[in-house]
Chains A and B, each alone.
Chain A
Amino acid sequence: MKRRASFSIKQIALAFIIGLLVLVGLIGSFAAYQTRVVTHSLKLQNVNAAQSELEAAVQRLLSRTEEQAIKLARWDETRQQLVLPEYYTYWRDQRVYESGMLDSRYVRAALYDQSGLLLSSGPAKTSLPARLPASLQPHQNSSWLVNEAGAVALYNAFPVYSGEQRQSLLGHGLIRVDFMPALLREDAFHFTDSSNVSLALKPGETLAAADLLSHLSFSARPDPDQLRFQTILSRTLIALFILLAATALFGFVAYNRLLVRPLGRLSQDIDAMQQGRFSPSPSRSQSIRISELESIRRSLYDYQLQLREMHGSLEHQNREFHTQARQDTLTGCHNRRAYEEDWERFRQELKTAPQGVAFLLFDCDRFKTINDTYGHAKGDRVLSIIADALVMALRANDRLYRIGGDEFATFLSRTTPAQAKQVAQRCQSLIDAAGFGDLGIIEPVGLSIGIAFCAADQLEHVDELPKQADIAMYTAKQPGRTRIALYGEDTERASQTLVASRETSALFQALAAPGMIEMHYQAIHALPGRQVDYYEALARIRYHGTLIQPEAFLPVVSSRRLETEFDLAVLNQVDTDLSSGQLPTGCGISINLSAQSISHPEIVSQLLELSRHNARHPLMLEITETSLITQMVEVSTYLDLLRTVNYRIAMDDFGTGYSPLRYLVDLPVDVVKFDISLVNKLGQDNRAGQVVADFARMMSEVGYSLVAEGVETEAVLRKVESLGIAHAQGYLLGRPIPLAELAASLTSEGVEAACNL
């Protein structure tokens, strides 16, 4: 859904004000238009009124002149002058006005005899025609206008009779009116502009009074009320517009100050809060006059304070978490996460600052056994002491990382292999000098150190340093080593160890996918007849067609603490082999298990499941004791349980682990398998060989069935036989072979010959 464009409140206010002004403008324009229409209409009415008024005035003037003519015609003194005109001028110039017959000096009167001649042409202010127009009707009143030198005169001629009966015509009378003054003297002109009244008459031209109106031109007098109305309306509109504009401007300013700016500040504060920026000094003093906004501002301010406090607290907690997340709580050194980040950053730095780099991997020897034996608390204390010692041994700027249970690591910059070895030796020295005895730990606590180095000109291989250090570390752990190994220099089987990581992958895939673990079976021969008594199942991993030997992946199993998973996989595969029926009935199978696995219920459960094969294939469990058995009671209980389902228990690698005598005492062991190192002692004619021989004899005498492992020479075999050891195992007698091969050989040799049932 398309989001509509948003508008700012300022734009809305501007749009509203502009719209308001436009609306007012439109209304004003409409009012002005209507006013103009009304004004035009009023003007037309005014013109019509002026015309009517002027026509009425003209008509009144004509009527008045006519009335005056009639009055003069009937006046006795008029008749007297026509008969006895001796004092005619007195009558003309004075008497007609005194008597009221003529009411204005603009009007003149004259008398003519019957032939139309003027009675007297005596001096007069206004010249009158000496003779009446010949066209006049003798017994009718006639009225006309003449332009006399620019002045228009209205004449009215009338007959004068001697009596009412109009029997005898005495003469004629003539009234002359100064038309324009007489007309404009009409003081009742409300609509006509008297200054603009004119008569279109050429000088000397005569016009009949009947045609007078058509020759009049005029203009209407502006209506003062209309003008006042227009003025008031215009001023009102202008004032209204100015008032509205001022109000709009003031409103906009007020709106801007009271609403827009505070909202803008609030919006900025909110945006800043959204972006995590908090104003260091919120504008608390800038209060908003709008109470609702002020309430919002206060709420926002309080909220901002709370957020800032919360943010500060979160930052503090984040720092704490970050520190904690990068710090190992037990030892106080950096943890695996810090290791990964620092290593990645260091790798990036190397791209710009090439230098020699050494990667050191530390692993505590037999820590698991110590942990199991002395408890977790002391195990943790051991780790702390180790960490402290390592930190002291490292250079000032070097960091120590705990990357596993008892695994530590560090990488040294700007160093050489020799310097790295010196650091490693210093570490071992400090560990050796540490007072583990104070913790009640009798066993020596050692530290294996694997070193990998990458020169400045070979930094493209720097990513392989951890793996190389891992290989070197396992190399260091191998018996007889100085416990410090430098990859490439101390790793004896470089080609093998180079694929350590491949075998690790193979191990994990084998644990995830059944079938990759392949059991090889090595015969254990009964002595002195040297016939095969049973077979020891030995695990191999088939990975991409290659068979990986135990010495390559068992250290991985041990370091990754995968003993239980691996043992389960082995048990499953043995179950599969036994279920396949390739082994003839009566062939016993010895299975290797770590003592730790025995204490896991799923292992026990699997063993109970596997025990169904005991009827056809006697089963033996070989408990390796390279690690310390801490849960002796539980292990003993489980072993007793397993013996009830006909498992025989063998103590594997006797002579190399911890407290073997105690195990023999506390655990229900049926068979003791002498480690190859002890077996090799048997071949020596020294005191050690004598001790081992005596011990083997003693073990046999108390009922333990002994098995000599690693018999590779005939001399050793004879010695073993001489000591009365019941069984022997080794390359001299037979190498481990796959099941199919074993089955084939057994088939060819016969079951009875293969298995000494």
Chain B
Amino acid sequence: MRLYLFCLLISVFPTAAHAVIAQQEMRPAIPANADYLVGEPGKPAVLLLHGFLQTRDFSTVAILARGLHDTGYTVLAPTLSLNIPNRMQSLACEAVHKHSLDDDVAEIGRWVSWLKSQGHRSIVLVGHSFGSLQLLAYLSLKPDAAVKGYIGISLLEAQIGTTVRSALLTQLEGRVRNKQRALVNQGLSFCRKYPSTPEGLLSYARWDQARLLVALKQSPVSVRLIMGDRDDVLGHGWLKALEHVQTPMVIVKGANHFMDGAHEFDLLEYTLKFLGHIHPASAR
């Protein structure tokens, strides 16, 4: 199967030339863009979202996007603006983070709408790492009906290190309430130093493992997780917790958080397998 996919990637490589960049103004003076890879009609469009502070050019996402597109799927790979006009680079942890999960979810919604505007009626949301959390946050709200499925790759909560989350949330809520605009430098995810606005940090910090599990259970669309059993980024007991609540999940043996190397093909295989179950009639 892997050999087949490899040959397929090689044979359809020229189709990458059909990629276009889609751009939308998410907020005033803050445009954002996405790679729009047009696939075969009748197949669901895939909205592929990158991880924390990354761009669509991150390797795991880029390779997967190319694989999906090469197999005929339309792929839209946006780069979240994080309130930066036409953001093109990974945002440094130390940069001023003036974005929030709400902004991210809003941009996801706008890209879903954009896909629909492009005629796609069956959309599968695929996210990697923190992107999976952001897509899940989008699903936890009132997602567009065109969204038919969700694949979370290396899904994890908003990690805040050793900080007591409840205390942090209380502190942040107090800052927000008191309209304190001073940047909060609290570690988030892989960033040990993360200067951000209180409301922005608060929006992310609320998504702990429990909230993720709830969101998964309450997802309105088909859910599938692809996890690696060698993912050191994941919080302790996260995989067991997912298994405990019987979340549809594929655990790739030997894969780490980024599913790199040979596991790229596993990721694509399992993604395609899930996409195969999505009813084609519901597509564009």
- For the complex, would chain B's binding face be called helix, strand, loop or mixed by DSSP majority? loop
Query: For the complex, is B113 an interface residue (Cβ under 8 Å from A)?
Result: no
Query: For the complex, is B187 an interface residue (Cβ under 8 Å from A)?
Result: no
Task: Give the shortest distance, in Å, between A330 (CB) and chain B (any CB).
Answer: 152
Q: How many residues of B contact A (CB 8 A)?
A: 20
Query: For the complex, is A90 an interface residue (Cβ under 8 Å from B)?
Result: yes
Query: Could you tell me which residues of chain B, from 62 to 119, have a CB within 8 Å of some CB in chain A?
Result: 83-89, 91-92, 94-96, 98
Nearest A-chain residue to B29, judged by Cβ: A83
Query: How far, in angstroms, from A86 to B98 measured CA to CA in the complex?
Result: 9
Tell whether, in the assembled complex, residue B195 and residue A90 are in contact, meaning their CB atoms are under 8 Å apart. yes
Given A76-B84, A91-B96, A95-B94, the answer on whether A163 and B29 have CB atoms closer than 8 Å is no
Q: Which residues of B contact A79 (CB under 8 A)?
A: 84-86
Query: For the complex, is B183 an interface residue (Cβ under 8 Å from A)?
Result: yes
Task: Give the shortest distance, in Å, between B260 (CB) and chain A (any CB).
Answer: 25
Query: How far, in angstroms, from A81 to B84 measured CA to CA in the complex?
Result: 9
Task: Give the shortest distance, in Å, between B103 (CB) and chain A (any CB).
Answer: 12
Q: Which residues of A contact B31 (CB under 8 A)?
A: 162-163
One of A77, A99, A170 near B29 (C-beta < 8 A): A170
**Residues 28-49 of chain B: 1 if any A CB is under 8 Å from the residue's CB, otherwise 0?**
0111010000000000000000
Query: For the complex, is B181 an interface residue (Cβ under 8 Å from A)?
Result: yes
Q: Which residues of A contact B33 (CB under 8 A)?
A: 163
Query: Could you tell me which residues of chain A, from 81 to 112, have a CB within 8 Å of some CB in chain B?
Result: 81, 83-84, 86-87, 90-91, 95, 98-99
- For the complex, would chain A's binding face be called helix, strand, loop or mixed by DSSP majority? helix
Q: Which residues of A contact B88 (CB under 8 A)?
A: 76, 164
Q: Output the residue of B31, B96, B98 with the most chain A CB within 10 A.
A: B96
Nearest B-chain residue to A170, judged by Cβ: B85
Query: For the complex, is A747 an interface residue (Cβ under 8 Å from B)?
Result: no
One of A84, A99, A162, A163 near B92 (C-beta < 8 A): A99
Given A90-B183, A95-B95, A170-B29, the answer on whether A84 and B83 have CB atoms closer than 8 Å is yes
Query: For the complex, is A705 an interface residue (Cβ under 8 Å from B)?
Result: no
Tell whether, in the assembled complex, residue A76 and residue B94 are in contact, meaning their CB atoms are under 8 Å apart. no
Query: How far, in angstroms, from A80 to B103 measured CA to CA in the complex?
Result: 15
Tell whether, in the assembled complex, residue A87 and residue B183 are in contact, meaning their CB atoms are under 8 Å apart. yes
Query: How far, in angstroms, from A98 to B96 measured CA to CA in the complex?
Result: 12
Tell whether, in the assembled complex, residue B29 and residue A90 are in contact, meaning their CB atoms are under 8 Å apart. no
Nearest B-chain residue to A90, judged by Cβ: B96
Q: Which residues of B contact A80 (CB under 8 A)?
A: 83-85, 95-96, 98
Tell whether, in the assembled complex, residue B181 and residue A86 are in contact, meaning their CB atoms are under 8 Å apart. yes
Q: Which residues of B contact A162 (CB under 8 A)?
A: 29, 31, 85-86
Query: Could you tell me which residues of chain A, from 165 to 201, have a CB within 8 Å of some CB in chain B?
Result: 170
Task: Give the shortest distance, in Å, between B267 (CB) and chain A (any CB).
Answer: 28
Q: Which residues of A contact B29 (CB under 8 A)?
A: 83, 162, 170
Given A87-B183, A90-B183, the answer on whether A77 and B83 have CB atoms closer than 8 Å is no
Given A162-B29, A162-B31, A163-B31, the answer on whether A87 and B98 have CB atoms closer than 8 Å is yes
Task: Give the shortest distance, in Å, between A311 (CB) and chain B (any CB).
Answer: 121
Query: How far, in angstroms, from A75 to B87 measured CA to CA in the complex?
Result: 9
What are 6 contact pairs spanning A and B, CB under 8 A?
A76-B84, A80-B95, A90-B183, A90-B195, A91-B96, A99-B94
Interface residues, chain B, with chain A CB atoms under 8 Å away: 29-31, 33, 83-89, 91-92, 94-96, 98, 181, 183, 195
Q: Which 9 A-B pairs give the minimum distances between C-beta atoms? A: A163-B86, A87-B96, A80-B84, A162-B85, A76-B84, A83-B29, A79-B85, A77-B95, A76-B87
Interface residues, chain A, with chain B CB atoms under 8 Å away: 75-77, 79-81, 83-84, 86-87, 90-91, 95, 98-99, 162-164, 170
